[in-house]
Amino acid sequence: MNEEHSLENLIDKLSDTITRCRGCMQCYTVCPLVESTHGFPTQGARGILRAILYGIRWDEVLGTEDKNELRDIVYACTTCAACEIKCKSSGAGVPIVELIEDGRKLLVEGGVGPLENQRIALKSIESLGNPYAAASESRLDWLKAFSERRRLSCKVVPDDRNVDLLLYVGCTASYDESIQKVACSLVTLLEEMKINYGVLKEERCCGSPANRAGERRIFSDTSAENAKRFEEYGVKHIITISPHCYNTFVNEYPELMKKIKIQHYTEFLSDMMEEGALVPQKELGKRVTYHDPCYLGRRNNVYEAPRRVLKSIPGLVVVEMKRNRQDSLCCGGGGGRMWAAVEEVTRLSQIRLREAMEVNAEIIATGCPWCHIQLEDAVKDTNNEDKITVKDIAELVAEAL
Amino acid sequence: MDEIESAKVESIASSLRKIVGEEFVSAALFERIVSAEDTYPYMLREEEVPYAVVMPGFKEEISKILKFANKENVPVFVRGSASQLAGSTRPHTHGIILSINRLNKMKIFEDYNFFECEPGCVVGKVAEEIGRLGYFLPIHPGSQAFARIGGTVCNNTSAHLVDTSIGKMGDYIMGVEVVLPNGDIMETGTKGMRRPAGTDLTKFFVGGDGLLGVITKMRMRLLPDFNHAYAAVYYSNVRSLAQGVQRLYYEKRPMPLMMELMDEKTAKVGFEVKGLPPPPGAVTIFDSIGYSKEDAERRRDLVLQSLKAENPLEVEVIEDMDRWRALWATREVISSFLSQSSGMQWKSAEVIPNLKYLPDAAEECEHFNQGLPICGSLQNYLYGHIGAVSLHPGILVPRDWDGEMQRAAYTELFEREAELTLKYGGCGGEWGQFSKRKSFFVRRYGEVGYEFVKSIKKAIDPNNILNPGILEGYR
């Protein structure tokens, strides 16, 4: 571990930057934790930061139970970054999410973090290359099954390295049965556009869950290995299905990734549509609203490409929810919370579903596997299957071919 | 924390759980710590860490909590969002933190011309709700997106608004429902349009500094919204600007609803943060109101007539709402921006002069910290609600000073505030009268005045259960 990231530096950075917050509390007005809990003061951005500060300064008097409480507070954040944007617009600009993730690193160093289920997921990333404890050799089963249904030109890298575009499928679209259809839809579109594309023979997790959980070592091992492979295989252009993989590649990977063009698939589809390489023909005749995933929108400012893609589908009426773009409400699945049992009084995904139904949408479209899962659960849990469906943008475009 | 204390934490928490239910009580250490914090940068002392945090949902539960606290002799500190700036939400001893945030319902009765709301309602949300029906909420703190209305009632603060334009918020409060320190529940005031003549119990609680009861509901008259007209006027110095404001009063002008001041140094910061070209000097921005657009514009022009007599550098009549919002934002971002960029902690004071000495006071506030032993060499900024004859000098306090040093610095700044407000003949108009400001009260009204309040407090709260420390003054 280099000096820049030593424990003392981490502590210094946290103590310094947290005390720059002047407590204006604007962050609480947009925090999804405040909205989905009873709103005790530790259930909001500034409260989490102050808890970290006391955790550092009062370390010596803390018992195991106190430390576990601190862990639960710090790991409850969805890292949606709504607070950061609010903080910046109020004039301050405290890097809140970075500080919370640094707090998690500190808890990991102290043997307190991450949460139990996250530990299991991270172990699985190390041994199997995915957080779902699924066999690494079955990662491409979805593709094999799909190729039995239709002829595919998809190449498998590095057996055949001669590809223009690498589809980085990601763990959720590879393994989760409800999301594999998104990968299939995207493959259908790539075939339709006759793109010379491929997938990795031995794709491994991008490492994002490790970073969210504060496990620096697992992340740096994973990212170094992935980046090395991309370079070795001569990859020039990657599209991802998950905004989380996308964000990690763009913002958190080693410098050598800068040479590779990285896009979320909605950006790629939007480009292709602009070039006229992809023209949806079939009328869908539905009312759709788009849910901005935090890691695509707030984190990377990709707001318009997904909307452009939706608007190019004939017959699709695109309506906006009250909170959209940078005001979008987190679905609750980010920040490592896919592996955390965070208590919610009102589920964020259900609040979001209500917002979609308020504008009479028949479809909530999104571009993130985790948002997709969370929202689909909300539809089922509230028995609204006959009124509204969750679709990925790739699915809708594929339906419109 | 030693064993006796942790046993006490458990026993208090378990009693509270019986009153409000498991999920609305926390005895976890970090929750107790963070729930005792306010906007102040310095950390709690160990003896300030509360025993438990409780979030009741009904007045009957609050009544039971206060009865329990009296029986066990445990202090209760009432908390909303803790955005108060004079230290009155920060406990100075172990106790129970009672959060009113679950009491957040409101109802509008247009046929009676009032609305009722619970203290945990967020000020900005209430403003939005009644705003939709064409009414204006006469409360406008910078923290309105987050501050709870209960705290503003206890301080009787309309914050940015000019008192002499539409009055103070307390002028619109028709009555409250309150749980007294002994647990009794009482209603005050009226549902009629006429205010009580003679004894009006409401006045013990509106602006009562939270000493005499926990407000669980308030009734407020619906004030019709106005039409607005805006302008900004720039001067080479704050003295001329302040003299312009004096003229508004002397020349019988209709006072704007809001009228802000930034001295040149401060305005430059705000304008830069919002990406505007630097202002030519000190600036006042104001919002004139009227019953029609023409009426508001006529009133703005009357204000401008007086302001122009003090030789401004520039007069800007604002027709474009985006421009007004941008200028308003320059004022709002200053303290947050300076805290972050300078790496220091912003601490403002509130100096209230009388009208006659406003120019002297404004000038002196540009050097507010001059000669102070602890804070004398720190950077000083100045803004304020100049139309209300209210000044907010702000100081940047280093973060690397330890907690005790920061406390001492804050105390020094409040002492200086007291000194200037005494010198110039006003009294705190936004942040309550006690807590960090007790010494002003004693100096201004003497031991007689202070004893008067103490004896009332003692009569109503003999065990000093409710919000102790506010009246005694924090250090």
- Note the pLDDT tens digit of each residue in A225-263: 999 999 999 999 999 999 999 999 999 998 889 999 999
- Cross-chain residue pair B37–A50, CB shorter than 8 Å: yes
Contacts of A66 in chain B (CB under 8 A): 28-30
- Cross-chain residue pair A69–B55, CB shorter than 8 Å: no
- Note the pLDDT tens digit of each residue in A91-122: 889 999 999 999 999 999 999 999 999 999 99
Minimum Cα–Cα distance from B23: chain A residue: A38
Residue B327 exposure: Cα atoms within 13 Å on the Cβ side: 24
- Note the pLDDT tens digit of each residue in B176-210: 999 999 999 999 999 999 989 999 999 999 999 99
H or E element that contains A118 = helix A116-128
- Note the pLDDT tens digit of each residue in B424-433: 999 999 999 9
Positive or negative torsion for Cα B353, B358, B359, B365: positive
H or E element that contains B249 = helix B238-250
- Cross-chain residue pair B55–A38, CB shorter than 8 Å: yes
Contacts of B53 in chain A (CB under 8 A): 40-41
On whether the CB atoms of residues B395 and B377 are closer than 8 A, the answer is: no
Q: What is chain B's mean pLDDT, rounded?
A: 95
H or E element that contains A396 = helix A393-399
Give A134-170 as a DSSP string.
--GGGTTHHHHHHHHHS----EEETTS---SEEEE--
- Name which residue leads in pLDDT, A24 or A242: A242
Query: Is 90 exceeded by the pLDDT of residue B399?
Result: no
- Distance between B31 CA and the closest CA of chain A, angstroms: 6
Fold for domain B227-424?
A: Vanillyl-alcohol Oxidase; Chain A, domain 3 (3.40.462)
- Cross-chain residue pair B31–A62, CB shorter than 8 Å: no
Q: Enumerate the domain spans of chain B.
A: 3-99, 106-224, 227-424
Please name the member of A51, A57, A87 whose beta carbon is closest to the beta carbon of B34. Answer: A51
CATH 3.30.300.30, domain B3-99, yes or no: no
pLDDT bucket at B339, cuts 50 / 70 / 90: confident
CATH of domain B106-224: 3.30.465.10
Residue A314's alpha-carbon distances to A150, A279, A397, in angstroms, are 25, 10, 10
- Cross-chain residue pair A51–B28, CB shorter than 8 Å: no
Predicted local distance difference test score (pLDDT) of residue B1: 55
Contacts of B38 (CB under 8 A, 6+ apart): A23, B82, B83, B84, B87, B89, B90
pLDDT bucket at A341, cuts 50 / 70 / 90: confident
Residue (of A53, A59, A20) closest to B400 by Cα position: A20
Q: Quickly list H helices, B251-320.
A: 264-273, 293-308
Q: Enumerate the domain spans of chain A.
A: 3-113, 118-271, 277-399
- Cross-chain residue pair B1–A61, CB shorter than 8 Å: yes
Predicted local distance difference test score (pLDDT) of residue A3: 46
- Note the pLDDT tens digit of each residue in A255-290: 889 999 999 999 999 999 999 999 999 999 999 999
- Distance between A22 CA and the closest CA of chain B, angstroms: 6
Contacts of A53 in chain B (CB under 8 A): 43
Predicted local distance difference test score (pLDDT) of residue B40: 87
Contacts of B408 (CB under 8 A, 6+ apart): B374
- Cross-chain residue pair A38–B102, CB shorter than 8 Å: yes
Predicted local distance difference test score (pLDDT) of residue A20: 86
Total residue length of chain A = 401
Predicted local distance difference test score (pLDDT) of residue B471: 95
B148-170 average pLDDT score: 96
Minimum Cα–Cα distance from A20: chain B residue: B340
- Cross-chain residue pair A25–B81, CB shorter than 8 Å: yes
The answer to whether residue B336 neighbours chain A at the CB level (below 8 Å) is yes
Contacts of A109 (CB under 8 A, 6+ apart): A7, A10
Q: Which CATH architecture has domain A3-113?
A: Orthogonal Bundle (1.10)
The answer to whether residue B272 neighbours chain A at the CB level (below 8 Å) is no
Residue B10's alpha-carbon distances to A4, A163, B4, B14, in angstroms, are 43, 65, 10, 6
If contacts are CB pairs under 8 Å, which of residues 304-323 in chain B contact chain A?
none
- Distance between A398 CA and the closest CA of chain B, angstroms: 42
- Cross-chain residue pair B335–A50, CB shorter than 8 Å: no
Please name the member of A22, A69, A70 whose beta carbon is closest to the beta carbon of B339. Answer: A22
Q: Give me Rg for the CA atoms of chain A.
A: 21
ipTM of the modeled complex: 0.94
Please name the member of B1, B39, B332 whose beta carbon is closest to the beta carbon of A23. Answer: B39
- Distance between B29 CA and the closest CA of chain A, angstroms: 6
- Name which residue leads in pLDDT, B419 or B88: B419
The rounded distance, in Å, linking the Cα atoms of B324 and B305 is: 20
Residue B16 exposure: Cα atoms within 13 Å on the Cβ side: 30
Predicted local distance difference test score (pLDDT) of residue B41: 86
pLDDT bucket at A223, cuts 50 / 70 / 90: very high
Question: Which pairing describes strands A165-168 and A197-200: parallel, antiparallel, or unpaired?
Answer: parallel
Predicted local distance difference test score (pLDDT) of residue B286: 98
pLDDT bucket at B341, cuts 50 / 70 / 90: confident
Predicted local distance difference test score (pLDDT) of residue B390: 97
pLDDT bucket at B6, cuts 50 / 70 / 90: confident
Please name the member of A20, A29, A50 whose beta carbon is closest to the beta carbon of B34. Answer: A50
Predicted local distance difference test score (pLDDT) of residue A4: 53
Could you tell me the strand order of the sheet in which B96-99 lies?
B25-26, B52-54, B96-99, B76-79
- Cross-chain residue pair B332–A23, CB shorter than 8 Å: no
**3-class SS of residue A31:** coil
Contacts of A94 in chain B (CB under 8 A): 340
The answer to whether residue B401 neighbours chain A at the CB level (below 8 Å) is no
Minimum Cα–Cα distance from A72: chain B residue: B30
Spacing of C-alpha A26 from chain mean position = 24
Spacing of C-alpha A33 from chain mean position = 17
Structure tokens at B278: 């630097």
Contacts of B472 (CB under 8 A, 6+ apart): B438
Predicted local distance difference test score (pLDDT) of residue B85: 87
Contacts of B145 in chain A (CB under 8 A): 26, 29
Please name the member of A38, A66, A87 whose beta carbon is closest to the beta carbon of B23. Answer: A38
- Name which residue leads in pLDDT, B147 or B341: B147
- Cross-chain residue pair B343–A24, CB shorter than 8 Å: no
Predicted local distance difference test score (pLDDT) of residue A236: 96
Structure tokens at A368: 């993130």
The answer to whether residue B145 neighbours chain A at the CB level (below 8 Å) is yes
pLDDT bucket at A24, cuts 50 / 70 / 90: confident
Q: What is chain A's mean pLDDT, rounded?
A: 96
- Note the pLDDT tens digit of each residue in B83-124: 888 888 999 899 999 999 999 999 999 999 999 999 999 999
- Note the pLDDT tens digit of each residue in B136-157: 999 999 899 999 999 999 999 9
- Note the pLDDT tens digit of each residue in B248-299: 999 999 999 999 999 999 999 999 999 999 999 999 999 999 999 999 999 9
CATH 3.40.720, domain A277-399, yes or no: no
If contacts are CB pairs under 8 Å, which of residues 46-75 in chain B contact chain A?
53, 55
CB pairs under 8 A between A and B: 108
Please name the member of A53, A70, A92 whose beta carbon is closest to the beta carbon of B337. Answer: A92
Total residue length of chain B = 475
The answer to whether residue B193 neighbours chain A at the CB level (below 8 Å) is no
Please name the member of A19, A42, A93 whose beta carbon is closest to the beta carbon of B41. Answer: A19
- What CATH class does A118-271 carry? mainly alpha
Query: Is 90 exceeded by the pLDDT of residue B345?
Result: no
A323-329 average pLDDT score: 98
Q: Please list the residues that pair with B302 across neighbouring strands.
A: none
Predicted local distance difference test score (pLDDT) of residue A171: 98
The answer to whether residue B345 neighbours chain A at the CB level (below 8 Å) is yes
- First CA to last CA distance, chain B: 23
Query: Is 90 exceeded by the pLDDT of residue B78?
Result: yes
The rounded distance, in Å, linking the Cα atoms of B188 and B206 is: 11
Q: Please list the residues that pair with B345 across neighbouring strands.
A: B397
The answer to whether residue B275 neighbours chain A at the CB level (below 8 Å) is no
Predicted local distance difference test score (pLDDT) of residue B2: 63
Predicted local distance difference test score (pLDDT) of residue B340: 79
